[in-house]
């Protein structure tokens, strides 16, 4: 019996990937770093610091790159990113999400946010969906990021719903892996090649309906 839906944010509720990519590109130019062409896809669901570490490694910079410098770079990237997302409005909600949230609400299903983004709550405010969510996991308190199941397990706990009564919705391979590892029913939004590990794959958020579970 379905009692809770655990949502990823970027790529499921709204498309912030393009803004993340713009902000990383700006930072890369500032520090004369190269970005691989597929970086936008590969950084999906990966935390800010881990994303920076991946970019640095691909530029052959030492793994132990000065911690303080990385922290400064993360702040700079986020300041730039926040300027971009400050313009977001309810028009940025992905198709089908609002009716799906309403359908879930009517069926008394609890709703949680399991996003790696520390800007999750701010973005939900901007797009007018904050009040639809019963809980938001604070990603700064996590020990491990996706693909570790911690974020989804925590989200279910915060809602007080057993894992077997939850479904998790993700657009990233690392996120689907995290949902599966938590023992939660996984729904992947996007390409069935990239998300082949998902138990249910839908081409877009438009197909989200309660009767598919």
Q: With respect to ligand B16, which residue has the nearer C-beta, 45 or 112?
A: 45
> Among Mg ion, ligand B16, none, what does residue 116 contact (CB within 5–8 Å per kind)?
ligand B16
- Token digits of residue 13: 């509720």
3-state secondary structure of 7: strand
Pick one of ligand B16, Mg ion, none as the site partner of residue 48 (Cβ within 5 to 8 A by kind).
ligand B16
Identify the bridge partners of residue 170 per DSSP, sorted by sequence position. 188
Closest CB to Mg ion among 13 and 159? 13
Region label for 60, one of left (φ > 0), alpha (ψ between -120 and 50) or beta (otherwise): left
Query: What minimum distance in Å lies between the beta carbon of 48 and ligand B16?
Result: 4
Smallest gap from Cβ 27 to ligand B16, in A, equals: 11
* Shorter beta-carbon distance to Mg ion: residue 171 or 177: 171
Partner from Mg ion, ligand B16, none contacting 127, C-beta within 5 to 8 A by type: none
Token pair, residue 208, equals 């989200």
Active-site annotation holds for 134: no
Residues forming a β-bridge with 189: 202
Q: Residue 110: name its binding partner from ligand B16, Mg ion, none (Cβ under 5 to 8 Å by kind).
A: none
| All residues at 6 or more sequence positions from 196 whose CB lies less than 8 Å from its CB, including other chains | none
The distance of closest approach from Cβ of residue 197 to ligand B16 in the complex, given in angstroms and rounded to an integer, is 16
Cβ contacts of 189 within 8 Å, gap of 6 or more: 11, 12, 169, 170, 171, 195, 201, 202, 203, 204, 205, 208
185 beta partners: 167
Q: Give the phi and the psi of residue 144 in degrees, each rounded to 5.
A: -130, 145
Residues in the chain: 213
Cα 135 → chain centroid? 15
Q: Which residue is nearest to Mg ion (CB)?
A: 11
Q: Which is nearer to ligand B16, 152 or 163 (CB)?
A: 152
Residues that bind ligand B16 (CB under 6 A): 8-11, 20, 43-48, 51, 78, 115-119, 172
In the complex, the residues that contact Mg ion under the rule CB under 5 A are 8, 10-11, 45, 171-172
- Work out how close the CB of 106 gets to ligand B16 at its nearest, in angstroms, rounded to a whole number: 25
Largest interatomic CA distance in the chain: 52
Look up 10 and say whether it is catalytic: yes
| Residues identified as active-site | 8, 10
């Amino acid at each position: 019996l379905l009692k809770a839906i655990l949502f990823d944010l970027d790529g499921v509720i709204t498309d912030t990937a393009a803004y993340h990519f713009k902000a990383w590109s700006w930072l890369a130019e500032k520090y004369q770093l190269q970005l691989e062409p597929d970086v936008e896809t590969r950084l999906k669901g990966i935390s800010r610091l881990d994303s920076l570490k991946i970019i640095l490694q691909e530029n052959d910079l030492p793994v132990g790159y000065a911690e303080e410098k990385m922290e400064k770079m993360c702040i700079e990237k986020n300041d730039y990113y926040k300027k971009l997302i400050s313009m977001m409005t309810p028009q940025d909600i992905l198709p089908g999400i609002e009716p799906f949230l309403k359908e879930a609400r009517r069926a008394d299903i609890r709703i949680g946010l399991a996003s790696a983004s520390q800007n999750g709550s701010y973005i939900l405010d901007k797009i007018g969906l904050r009040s639809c969510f019963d809980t938001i996991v604070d990603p700064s308190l996590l020990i491990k990021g996706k693909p570790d199941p911690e974020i989804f397990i925590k989200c279910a706990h915060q809602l007080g719903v057993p894992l077997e009564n939850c479904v998790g919705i993700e657009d990233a391979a690392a996120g689907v892996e995290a949902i599966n590892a938590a023992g939660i029913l996984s729904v992947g939004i996007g390409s069935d090649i990239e998300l082949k590990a998902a138990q249910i794959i839908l081409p877009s958020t438009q197909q989200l309906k309660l009767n598919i579970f």
